[in-house]
Amino acid sequence: MRIIIVGCGKVGSTIIKQLSAEGHDIVAIDVNPHIIEDITDTYDVMGVVGNCVNYQVLKEAGVEETDLLIAVTDSDEKNLLTCLIAKKAANCKTIARVRDPEISEEINYISSELGLSMVVNPEKAAASEIARLLRFPAAVQIDTFAKGDVELMKFVIPSDSPIVGLSLSEIDNKFNGYTLICCVERKDEAYIPNGSFVIEAGDKITLVSSNNITKDFFKSIGIDIKRVNNAMIVGGGKISVYLCQKLANKNIDLKIIEQDKARCEDLSEVLKNVTIINNDGSDESVLIEEGIDNVDAFVSLTGIDEENIFLSLFAEKRGVLKVITKVDRITYNEVINNLNLGSLIKPKNIIADNIVRYVRAINNAQGDSQIETLHELIKGKIEACGFHINGDSKIIDKPLSKLKTKKGVIIASIRRKKEVIIPNGQSTIQKGDTIVVVTNIKGIKNVNDLLDGDDNA
């Protein structure tokens, strides 16, 4: 597919990295020649220097032969105008990044009038993910599928958990197949486990379950379930606004600490039931004075990664139940993963995953299965895809035990109408089902790509 990506900042470069790795024909546009030089030196893409709202620049990038244009500059207005020009010039599909909360309120109307295929908002998406984590603070990561009916939850297994030393088949027997452990992260290794895989203390496990799973189950495997009653947020940017709006009716007392006085005044106008503190949230004495020792959750949302990391380390040291850390720029994943930062939120990765999912879906628009959801469970190693089975796929009506899938594939759940099934070997997939697949195979576009041998003939 031929794709133009306009704006090569944090979000744009992440999208370029993922889509170029999947073999698409990419053209990058940015006003900064040094950024274009870096992008073209790093990835197998074409680069054009210029203003994206200039038709001649878009023409040089080949807009008239383009299938998809993605506009992710730092200007909402420029993104929308670029998409409008591309739509008129080539009638291609268009995706625009829109961040401003005021514009977002009218986005359905704007999207319809401009013929946008998709609108992405990294800050709003990050706020949604944080809100889910505050609902279930024991989880390190929560990804939703099947319109929210299925969740993949990542937990760290404590040393005193009763499932330490048990194989997955033993765990399945003990809990009657109530849930499914679909991937395990152990130090630097990632596993798609089989029934003989043995759980160790400190493992990060991702399990799939329907949203009606009971708190008793988590307690039985040694994961303490506590409700978040109050939260302290450092940084009063767009994510903080979206987050507080999402939590408005969740009975959580919220406090934002923001250093800029004018911004505090703006926040006070928008967030009526949130305590706004005008002070330096990077000052430990301020955090102590404002009650960090008595909060259930601490969320570091400043614009500086290093500051967020140090703030979260301080919150962990003070014993805060749930710590959430926003990271945008830092690429030292090995270092970050070895720090006790609670749940990491990476807005650019959330949006990149959404766009990759969309591109795979339109690539397979005539296929017998449609990819609906895509999440990276372990960065660069394991991903989970949600598929709607809408045709005569080779996987229909076969017991899973008879289905020859490639190594490194788990069918983790099946949603049939309103029922969520945690599958076993006798389960079958039917037309109209939505399934969640966990795999270490990159670039899956169709469920038939999961099959091996005769089943893929």
Q: Is 186 helix (H, G, I), strand (E, B) or coil?
A: strand
User: Is residue 345 in some structural domain?
Assistant: no
Same domain as 441, residue 367: yes
Residue-range definition of the domain harbouring residue 199: 127-220
User: Is residue 330 in some structural domain?
Assistant: no
Same domain as 247, residue 152: no
Same domain as 446, residue 365: yes
Domain limit, last residue, from 105, 120, 135: 120
Q: Is 76 helix (H, G, I), strand (E, B) or coil?
A: helix
Same domain as 115, residue 137: no
Same domain as 9, residue 108: yes
Which residues face 378 on adjacent strands?
382
Same domain as 174, residue 112: no
What gap in Å lies between CA 299 and CA 240, rounded to an integer?
9
Same domain as 446, residue 377: yes
Is residue 155 within 8 A of residue 199, CB to CB? The reply is no
Same domain as 154, residue 55: no
Distance of CA 220 to the CA centre of its chain: 28
Task: Supply the CATH number for residue 388's domain.
Answer: 3.30.70.1450
What gap in Å lies between CA 216 and CA 221, rounded to an integer?
9
Same domain as 115, residue 142: no
User: Is residue 342 in some structural domain?
Assistant: no
User: Is residue 328 in some structural domain?
Assistant: no
Domain limit, last residue, from 66, 92, 120: 120
Amino acid present at 298: F
Same domain as 183, residue 255: no
H helix or E strand, kind and range, residue 124: helix 122-135
Same domain as 263, residue 307: yes
Closest CA to 300 of 268, 329, 322: 322
H helix or E strand, kind and range, residue 27: strand 25-30
Same domain as 443, residue 411: yes
What gap in Å lies between CA 297 and CA 322, rounded to an integer?
4
- pLDDT of 163-183, one tens digit each? 999 999 898 888 776 678 899
User: Is residue 326 in some structural domain?
Assistant: no
User: Is residue 43 in some structural domain?
Assistant: yes
| The CA-based dihedral angle spanning residues 316, 320, 321, 325, taken in that order and rounded to the nearest 10 degrees | -60
Domain limit, last residue, from 101, 120, 139: 120
Is residue 425 within 8 A of residue 401, CB to CB? The reply is yes
Q: Is 213 helix (H, G, I), strand (E, B) or coil?
A: coil
Task: Supply the CATH number for residue 36's domain.
Answer: 3.40.50.720
User: Is residue 325 in some structural domain?
Assistant: no
Is residue 61 within 8 A of residue 83, CB to CB? The reply is no
Q: Is 376 helix (H, G, I), strand (E, B) or coil?
A: strand
Cβ of 417: how many Cβ atoms within 10 Å?
Answer: 9
- Our count of domains for the chain comes to 4
Tens-digit pLDDT string for the chain (457 aa):
899 999 999 889 989 998 998 889 999 999 999 999 999 999 999 999 999 999 999 999 999 999 999 999 999 999 999 999 999 888 899 999 988 877 767 777 888 888 888 888 989 999 999 999 998 888 888 888 877 778 888 989 988 898 999 999 898 888 776 678 899 999 888 999 988 999 999 999 998 876 556 567 777 788 877 889 999 999 999 999 999 999 988 899 999 999 999 999 999 999 999 999 999 999 999 999 999 999 999 999 999 999 999 999 999 999 999 999 999 876 666 667 677 788 989 888 888 888 888 887 777 655 666 777 778 788 778 988 888 887 777 888 889 988 888 888 999 999 998 888 888 889 999 988 999 999 998 777 788 888 876 554 4
User: Is residue 420 in some structural domain?
Assistant: yes
